[in-house]
Structure 1
Amino acid sequence: MLLLLSRLVFAASLLFACTSQAAALPDLQGRTILAVTENAYTPLNFVDANTGQGIGWEYDAMNEIGKRLNANIEWQLSSWDAMIQAVRQGQYDIGMDGITINAERSKQIDFSIPYMTSQQFMLVRADEDRFTDAKSFAANDDLHFGAQAGTTNFYVAVYDVLDGNEDNPRITLLETFGASVQALKSGDVDSVLMDATSARGYIGANPGMFKIVGGPLGTEDFGFIFTPESDLVAPVNAAIRSMKADGTLEALNKKWFFDYNQ
């Protein structure tokens, strides 16, 4: 009886703590926030084949942030290569596309605190047997990466796997991340580098099609991006902290990410 009572008291205290934290969040009084993404980075943001609507981890997270801050999220689309500049110029209030927080980008836009930490891995076709890691890939001049210019995936391929030459012909540049994965599927390229979260999504959505080889090639933090000196940074950060504290972010991970080790 005492054990049951203790558990009930603990559960009540946890609920009270989460409720108090939510109540302490800023109230944006119904403000409309223009959010932009690309819809090409499964499972963070992509198009539902059945409805044609944008879905994914980042959609769910940002919509939840809007609810917690009493704000209306209005979704817009942009290509990756134009997104950071468009947010910088104030065309959109907040952007997301699995964007790695780094010093160079921080000179152009403001970042939220990290909402996710991930690592880069080599995604390959399930029947791949010509290489087993980054070293054996680099040693074979017949092997090619598919990558989207200007992304973390591209720079890791250039500087962490190949020879540091950004014009290396062993990297096939494609317009979208999804196009890189399609090129891998069709055999036009031999590997695509991607963060672990996205790799899980593609493996889960395509059973028997892909696998991971080798170990992690670096750790990266993802953040939402804002127009410089935006007054939304602090409220969004507060909402992210509350979602970490009450388990919401972990629940989204379980919903959207497939563990390729199982």
Structure 2
Amino acid sequence: MISLLSRCALLAVFAFSSMSFADSLPDLKGRTILAVTENAYTPLNFVDPATGKGIGWEYDAMNEIGKRLNAKIDWHTSSWDTMIQAVKQGQYDIGMDGITINEERAKQIDFSIPYMTSQQFMLVRADENRFYDAKTFAANDDLQFGAQPGTTNFYVAVYNVLDGNEDNSRITLLDTFGAAVQALKTGDVDCVLMDATSARGYMGANPGAFKMVGGPLGTEEFGFILSPGSDLLTPVNAAIKSMKADGTLEALNKKWFFEYNQS
């Protein structure tokens, strides 16, 4: 687990940061914000096996945003395939699941400013020796991707690695991101695409089970999603900017992408 010293240091960063920006950020006067995530994207959001509660980078970041804006975060879970529509319809105020900012999604919902920049990599089993990059994977018709439909991972597999056919039989569709990783672990698929930070999270949580091969397959930015025209967009963006400026986001990166992987 994360060392006691590291936890104390991180708490100190949060406490100092929140106080430093309290006077300059919007005050939501105790408003409740309905937040939704999937709990299936380690280390951004997942279920703590020890407590059964949702934890991760996005939980910490959103809770900190609530503190800075004087708002209460009320957490909910949803499947990936219904999340964007639920936020669009106002069932939830804000959603997160490592959601890539792109034009198609921006037509349906509002995005916050980016809170993280990431690149897609190929996660494979540690003993994999049949391919070593996207080109050699694509050349072997026996190899299979695992992916959630409609996700960045799915589209990168289709358009950056395979032939651009979204019905390609070389992609096994799974209901959740975690199910795709489990299918990789059990040998039902041969590769899962994910950002490097999440890949390190899975490698850290499963020592000796996985490795990354090849180079980055594209750069993407993650943002929180909000209902179109939400009055929360400006306050949330202000909080994210303050967390970038005072080092809080970097502290979260260290906690979840480095120290957590060593636990």
Query: Which digits, 9 at most, give the CA deviation of each residue in 1:67-92, with x for residues without a partner?
Result: 00000000001000000000000000
Please state whether the residue corresponding to 2:98 is helix, strand or coil.
coil
Please state whether the residue corresponding to 1:105 is helix, strand or coil.
helix
Alpha carbon RMSD of aligned pairs, Å? 1.7
Alpha carbons 2:17, 2:243 under 8 Å: kept: no
- Residue type of the alignment partner of 2:97: D
Find the structure with the greater CA-based Rg.
1
- Residue type of the alignment partner of 1:63: N
In structure 2, do the counterparts of structure 1 residues 235 and 161 end up closer, same or farther at CA, with 3 Å as the change threshold? same
Tell me if 1:134 matches 2:154: no
- Residue aligning to 1:3: none
Alpha carbons 2:144, 2:191 under 8 Å: kept: yes
Unaligned stretches of 5+ residues in structure 2: 1-14
In structure 1, distance between residues paired with 2:179 and 2:61: 25
In structure 2, do the counterparts of structure 1 residues 252 and 169 end up closer, same or farther at CA, with 3 Å as the change threshold? same
Give the TM-score, by structure 2 length.
Answer: 0.91
In structure 2, distance between residues paired with 1:144 and 1:18: 46
In structure 2, do the counterparts of structure 1 residues 86 and 244 end up closer, same or farther at CA, with 3 Å as the change threshold? same
Q: For 1:101-140, what aligned pairs fall within 5 Å after superposition?
A: 101-140=101-140
- Residue aligning to 2:10: none
Alpha carbons 2:21, 2:68 under 8 Å: kept: no
Query: Which digits, 9 at most, give the CA deviation of each residue in 1:195-245, with x for residues without a partner?
Result: 112111101111111000000000000000000000000000000001001
In structure 2, do the counterparts of structure 1 residues 50 and 82 end up closer, same or farther at CA, with 3 Å as the change threshold? same
- Residue aligning to 2:160: 160
Alpha carbons 1:88, 1:108 under 8 Å: kept: yes
Please state whether the residue corresponding to 2:172 is helix, strand or coil.
strand
In structure 1, distance between residues paired with 2:111 and 2:117: 14
Give the TM-score, by structure 1 length.
Answer: 0.91
- Residue aligning to 1:174: 174
Equivalent residue pairs, number: 246
Q: CA deviation at 1:23?
A: 1.6
In structure 1, distance between residues paired with 2:65 and 2:27: 11
In structure 1, distance between residues paired with 2:191 and 2:82: 25
In structure 2, distance between residues paired with 1:21 and 1:226: 23
- Residue aligning to 1:221: 221
Unaligned stretches of 5+ residues in structure 1: 1-14
- Residue aligning to 1:30: 30
- Residue aligning to 1:60: 60
Please state whether the residue corresponding to 1:23 is helix, strand or coil.
coil
In structure 1, distance between residues paired with 2:90 and 2:167: 32
Stretches of 4+ moved more than 4 A in 1?
Answer: 15-20
Q: CA deviation at 1:21?
A: 3.6
In structure 2, distance between residues paired with 1:113 and 1:105: 14
- Residue type of the alignment partner of 1:241: K
Q: CA deviation at 1:258?
A: 3.5
In structure 2, do the counterparts of structure 1 residues 253 and 20 end up closer, same or farther at CA, with 3 Å as the change threshold? closer
In structure 2, distance between residues paired with 1:57 and 1:17: 17
In structure 1, distance between residues paired with 2:249 and 2:42: 17
- Residue type of the alignment partner of 1:94: I
- Aligned-pair identity in percent equals 83
- Residue aligning to 2:92: 92
Alpha carbons 1:101, 1:221 under 8 Å: kept: yes
Query: Which digits, 9 at most, give the CA deviation of each residue in 1:171-217, with x for residues without a partner?
Result: 00000000000000000000000011211110111111100000000
- Residue aligning to 1:4: none
